[in-house]
Amino acid sequence: MFKELDPLLHSQLRLAVMSLLLGLDSAEFVFLKEKTNATAGNLSVQLDKLSEAGYILIEKSFHGKKPLTTCRITKKGIKAFEDYVNSLKGYIKS
Amino acid sequence: MKPENDTLSPQQSLDLIASMISQAKGNVRDSSFYYLFWGWVLIIAHLGSFVLNKIGFEYPYAVWLIVIPAWIVSFIYGKRQRQTQKRAITHLEKINITLWVSFGVLAIVIPFFGNFINYQINPLILLVGSMATMASGVILKFKPLMIGGVIFFASGLVSFFFTTEQQSLIAAVTIALGYLVPGYLLKSQK
């Protein structure tokens, strides 16, 4: 029996973001954009999805006049990520 | 990155995870500035305090006031770095920063309680500094700093046997060997 893969994580950009955040305390939007090569619009949409699911926390603030978006992974996000990787293992072994 | 609807095979997923994790890992900031800057500030303060003691100045500890502008410089430098450099903080970086800020706070507070500990301020701060230096060495995986931690520990213990005036000299030498030298080595590595 294969465990179903979390559809929220089984998408290239969202998985990339979650993998990045897993190793970091926090990361700014620009950093995530640079590392994933995503467009700002697409990234923004995907971040909102992850945030709505409670997988990440998005903080919006200002740095001088520039808006600053900082993301960090939540405990729920870490758990979901671990579950996702465990399910993946099932697929790889078979 | 391709559009999100692309289906990922399990192997692709794992490869993506691995590549992103290594991207996040390779982000250790060059922190040698702090080691060099604080190394020199503290050496100057210790030597200054030794010299002022020698010439019989009434308040030799006044030289320690230089740490106030030093904190400000450090703070501004850190802020600028965050603005210009890559904008992500790793857990280890955060631990390292917390470690040194805690040490800094402790080093400011302890002297005010000097009368409770027979004014053995220098040995105590060197010993606490040994923990911070050693831990930083482990965090950065940088052996010279770990050796620096051992030097701090040894001279912290040794300085209990000396007068406050001599302790300043010992501390200056310790900082030079255990902190400044690793700082320069760290810088040359980048």
Residues of A with CB under 8 A from a CB of B: 10-16, 19-28, 30-31, 34-38, 42, 46, 63, 85, 88, 91-92
Mutation for testing the A interface, residue in B5, B12, B13 having most A CBs under 10 Å: B13
Q: Which segments in chain B show pLDDT lower than 70? A: 1-6, 25-29, 84-86, 190
Taking CA–CA distances from A24, the nearest residue in chain B reads B90
Does the model's pTM come out above 0.80?
no
Partners of residue B23 in chain A, C-beta under 8 Å: 20, 35
- A17, B56, B132, B175 from B47: Cα distances, Å: 50, 14, 22, 11
Give domain status of residue B125, yes or no. yes
> What pLDDT, in 10s, does the model give residues B97-149?
899 999 999 999 999 999 999 999 999 999 999 999 999 999 888 999 999 99
Contact A10 B8 (CB under 8 A): yes
Taking CA–CA distances from A33, the nearest residue in chain B reads B1
Give domain status of residue B55, yes or no. yes
Contact B87 A27 (CB under 8 A): yes
**Domains of chain A by residue range:** 12-89
Number of domain units in chain B: 1
Give domain status of residue B16, yes or no. no
ipTM reported for the complex, 2 dp? 0.82
Partners of residue A42 in chain B, C-beta under 8 Å: 3-4
Give the fold, CATH level 3, of A12-89: Arc Repressor Mutant, subunit A (1.10.10)
Give domain status of residue B3, yes or no. no
How high is the pLDDT of residue B3?
Answer: 47
Give domain status of residue B149, yes or no. yes
pLDDT along chain A (94 residues), means of 10: 80 93 90 92 96 95 82 95 90 75
C-alpha span between A82 and A68 (Å, rounded): 29
C-alpha span between B94 and B141 (Å, rounded): 15
Where in the sequence is the domain holding B171, given as residue range(s)? 29-189
Write out the two tokens for B132.
């911070």
Give domain status of residue B12, yes or no. no
Write down the residue that tokens 């926090």 correspond to. A26
Length of chain A: 94
User: Using the 8-state DSSP alphabet, how is residue A56 labeled?
Assistant: E
